[in-house]
Chains A and B, each alone.
Chain A
Amino acid sequence: GAVVSQHPSWVICKSGTSVKIECRSLDFQATTMFWYRQFPKQSLMLMATSNEGSKATYEQGVEKDKFLINHASLTLSTLTVTSAHPEDSSFYICSASGSRTDTQYFGPGTRLTVL
């Protein structure tokens, strides 16, 4: 099956710093990538959708200036959490889709802890 990787798998940072998370589709070209956030014991919440070469579409309530998404190639999307605060601590998960009719394949997730 399709494989999606994320890096890093976990990160701890100080409040006010920025953190970049990478999402890669390893064996297929991802025309669309998605970013989710998941708090403990809760379901996944979609943050944004990104298509290769175009600006990301953010869900209502997600600050686009705080969560910068770049989808520069068909195999790589990045999420940068700018000026991170403790309330941004969460599990961030990306997924990728190879075509409009393809299902989503999820990465392993990145645990972000902001001190």
Chain B
Amino acid sequence: DARVTQTPRHKVTEMGQEVTMRCQPILGHNTVFWYRQTMMQGLELLAYFRNRAPLDDSGMPKDRFSAEMPDATLATLKIQPSEPRDSAVYFCASGSGQGSNEQFFGPGTRLTVL
């Protein structure tokens, strides 16, 4: 059945390194969301796209984070340079945007920055 996929599932990196997380939304969905989950902050919305255009990235630290949708089947979230405080689980979700706010979440990327 249709699912949101995310790669990698786990990433361990050292402070200062670039990290790229990828998401493949469900085919036909036109809205894509990036969330971050930590024990302290819970689930937070970082950015979202509609029809590949960024609509809101106010939840994202602009100096080091960037989100893009090179095409309708790929969304990326990059952190450069990474810091230990970026350690979290990053979830991608997609939605059809057809009058419902039902979102389908991927399994997440668990990022550890040493």
Query: Do the two chains belong together in a single complex?
Result: no
Q: Which residues of A come within 8 Å of B, CB atoms?
A: none
Q: Which residues of B come within 8 Å of A, CB atoms?
A: none
